Every structure is written in structure tokens, then in C-alpha cells.
Amino acid sequence: MTATVNIPLHRIAHGRAGDKGNRLNVSVIAYTPEAWPILLREVTQERVLAMFEHRGASQVRRYVVDNLQALNFVIDDALEGGVNSALNLDTHGKTSSFHLLSMEVSMPAELATALGCTGDTS
């Protein structure tokens, strides 16, 4: 069996958050073509919803943007009311991209090494 490691998504992808009303979008963009299949497999709608449930998120839609090797997540009701209603210091949710990038993803140890990542062997 191939050894796999868990690494933070932040090591293989970057992204940006944007807001419109109480709806948040976060892009997750592969740094390299090798990282793209990992994103597709690991960064699922269900896992993203679980990461934002404590914020009140009610629904997540994942859009696969193949031409950019990027995922775009649209997360409903994750901003405690949005920019002019929220009590959160970050009323826009602008910091949320790095919350998503803190997700742990599993990948073959060999690939992680090739991409210059180190992680916890599992």
C-alpha cells in the first residue's frame, strides 16, 4: 500500500474570499498541476460545509473551474448577517480563505515529497 501523508491545504493551494450579502465565496487554486487531482478528491462540498457550520453555514456549492485548476466554493449564511450586520470583527469574512486553507488533505507521501511538502504520515 502506498504511504499517504496529511498536509494542510495551504501547502498546495492558494485562494481568496469574497462576500456578497450573507453569502461567502472562497476560491481554492492549485499551485501546480500535480496538486489539482488532490483538490478535486479531497476538498469536497461536505468537508467545506463542516468547516463553516459553526458560522451558521446552511449550504455549500462547489464549482469546478477546470480551465483555472481551481475550485470555487459558495457558502450560504456563513457571515453572521454580512458586512453591515455581523458582530464578527471581520464582517466581510475576508479572512475565511485561510480558514479553508487550514483543511488537512491526504496525499501520497511520494507526491508530497516531490512538491516539497512534509506532513504527518498516516
Partner 1 sequence: MTYRIGNGSGFSGDRVDAALPVVRQIHAHGRGGALIFETIGERTLALGHLARRSDPALGYDPLLADLVRPVLADCVRSGIVIVGNFGVANPRAAAALIADIARDQGLHDLRVAVVEGDDIRDGLDLSLLDRWEGDSNALDCASDIISANVYIGARQIAEAIRHGAQVVVTGRVADPSLALGPLVAHFDWSWDDWDLIAAGTLAGHLLECGSQVTGGYFADPGFKDVPDLANVGFPIAEVEADGSFVITKPEGTGGVVDLRTVKEQLLYEIHDPSDYLTPDVVLDITGVSLTQSGQDRVSVRGARGRPAPELLKATVGVSGDWLGEAEISYAGPNALARAQLAAAIVEERVAAKFPSLRRRFDFIGALSVFGGDNRAPDGFAWPAPADVRMRMAVSAREKAQAEYALREVAALYCTGPAGGGGIRSHLQARINTASFLAPRSMVKPRYQMTGGAT
> Interface with partner 1 by CB under 8 A: which residues?
10, 14-16, 18-23, 25, 27, 29, 31, 50-51, 53-56, 61, 63, 65-68, 70, 72, 74, 76-77, 80-85, 87-90, 95-96, 99
DSSP assignment of 16-67 equals -EEEETTEEEEEEEESSGGGHHHHHHHS-HHHHHHHHGGGT--EEEEEEEGG
Least spacing, CB of residue 109 vs partner 1, in Å: 21
Least spacing, CB of residue 72 vs partner 1, in Å: 5
Q: Are 122 and 106 in contact (CB under 8 A)?
A: yes
Q: Report the residue number, 32 or 121, with the smaller CB distance to partner 1.
A: 32
State the Cα–Cα distance between residues 106 and 7, nearest whole angstrom: 6
Least spacing, CB of residue 2 vs partner 1, in Å: 26
